[in-house]
Amino acid sequence: MSSATTTSPSPVHHPPSVSPALSKGKVGMIAFLTTEVAFFGTLITTYITYIGADQQPRGMGGPTPDEVFTMPLVLASTVCLLSSSVTIHLAGNAAHHRDVAGFRSWWLATIGLGALFIVGTMYEWHDLIFTHQLTPWRNLFGSTYFTLVGFHALHVTIGLIIMSMLFIFAEARSKLPDNHPLDTELVSWYWHFVDGVWIVVFTVVYLVSR
């Protein structure tokens, strides 16, 4: 009588789990910023089409770009906004290292610099409207300028609101939440994008079309 040979089942090797390179939040932010590129690309193209690279705007019927812009004010506002890209990067590093004091200081600096940019834009618009009588309904330059710069200012304002909410939430808990570094990184992506858009807008509106 032959004895049956019992074989133990071979161990099942499961492939090591690989965490996704990008979280859902990062994928969502990339998709959102992609649509924003198309949106601002359309606005910038429209502005260039109506103003023209030959500095002979069509359908002006009013003040032209070289007659209304106050470059020192625009340059000061630009420096504030671009500097905020540095401060938000430093704030992100502080959040990653759980440095509450460092995060608080650099995050507030970012909010302050962004707010200064908005104040500068408001002052510029006040001068354009009440000194030069340039409104969105005055001519094609006014329509395309206020649309392009206005939407950018809206995006800056939205960023300031989100950053203020994150700061208040962190202050209320007296510490940085576990997901705070990721939230800070996603907001910084958005803010860097807004700053990058402004570089293009500043070049097209305040340099090329004058």
Q: For 63-83, how does the pLDDT look when each residue is reduced to its tens digit (9 = 90+)?
A: 878 888 989 999 999 999 999
The answer to whether position 163 is within a domain reads yes
- pTM of the model as a whole: 0.83
The answer to whether position 15 is within a domain reads no
What integer pLDDT is reported at residue 55 of this predicted model?
47
What integer pLDDT is reported at residue 119 of this predicted model?
98
Q: Answer yes or no: is pLDDT of 4 > 50.
A: no
Identify which has the larger pLDDT, 104 or 15: 104
The answer to whether position 10 is within a domain reads no
The answer to whether position 2 is within a domain reads no
Q: Answer yes or no: is pLDDT of 3 > 50.
A: no
Identify which has the larger pLDDT, 207 or 57: 207
Query: What CATH number is attached to the domain comprising 118?
Result: 1.20.120.80
The answer to whether position 168 is within a domain reads yes
Domain encompassing residue 67: 24-208
Nearest to 43 by CA among 159, 205, 208, 210: 205
The count of structural domains within the chain is: 1
Nearest to 121 by CA among 39, 194, 46, 63: 194
Nearest to 66 by CA among 123, 147, 117, 141: 141
What integer pLDDT is reported at residue 51 of this predicted model?
77
Percent of the chain with pLDDT over 70: 79
The answer to whether position 13 is within a domain reads no
Rounded mean pLDDT, 6-15 = 50
Q: Answer yes or no: is pLDDT of 161 > 80.
A: yes
Q: What is the pLDDT of residues 123-135, one digit of tens each?
A: 999 999 999 999 9
Q: Which residue type, as a one-letter code, is found at position 130?
A: F
Please give the torsion angle defined by the CA atoms of residues 51, 57, 59 and 60, in that order, rounded to the nearest 10 degrees: 100
The answer to whether position 4 is within a domain reads no
The answer to whether position 16 is within a domain reads no
What integer pLDDT is reported at residue 16 of this predicted model?
46
Q: Answer yes or no: is pLDDT of 37 > 80.
A: yes
